[in-house]
Homo-oligomer: A and B are copies of this chain.
Amino acid sequence: MQVIDTAEKLAMFSEHWSPKIVASLNDYHVKLVKLQGHFTWHCHQDTDELFMVLKGRMNISLRDREVVLQPGQLFVVAKGVEHRPWSEEECSALLLEPAGVVNTGDAGGAQTAANDVWI
């Protein structure tokens, strides 16, 4: 059990779309991710997914609307709902989801990242 400083952890990596685990809570993982550009459309059939913006501005495209998140705002994408995170400028966010969730969900492809990297 240790204090996790999100700013310190974010300073430890620079790559985009590659979530890093910083804490576990039962069978869930808390991850930090940096975003810039467009991610792939995907969904997670078995789980909700929480995003909380820590720095910058994050967009989440849904099939029927656009969501914009600023620091201190959070959003839960319900399971099975297609979404496409994107950010014009670099943005940092906290993710919360069950351990083992793959970032690209059912879509796969080049943006698929390892889902077990701790920092």
Chain A residues with CB under 8 Å of chain B are: 1-7, 22-26, 28, 30, 47-50, 54, 62, 67-69, 72-79, 81, 96-98
A62 to chain B, nearest CB (A): 8
Q: Which residue of B lies closest to A10 (CB)?
A: B72
Report how far A62 CA is from B78 CA in the complex, Å. Answer: 35
Q: Which of the residues B24, B28, B62 comes within 8 Å of A28, measured between beta carbons? A: B28
Taken together, the copies of this chain in the complex come to: 2
In Å, the complex CA distance between A79 and B26 comes to 8
A50 CA to B3 CA in the complex, in Å? Answer: 11
What are 14 A-B contacts with C-beta separation under 8 Å? A1-B77, A1-B81, A2-B75, A3-B74, A3-B75, A4-B74, A5-B72, A5-B73, A6-B74, A22-B74, A24-B48, A25-B96, A28-B28, A54-B72
Q: Specify the main secondary structure of chain A where it touches its partner.
A: strand
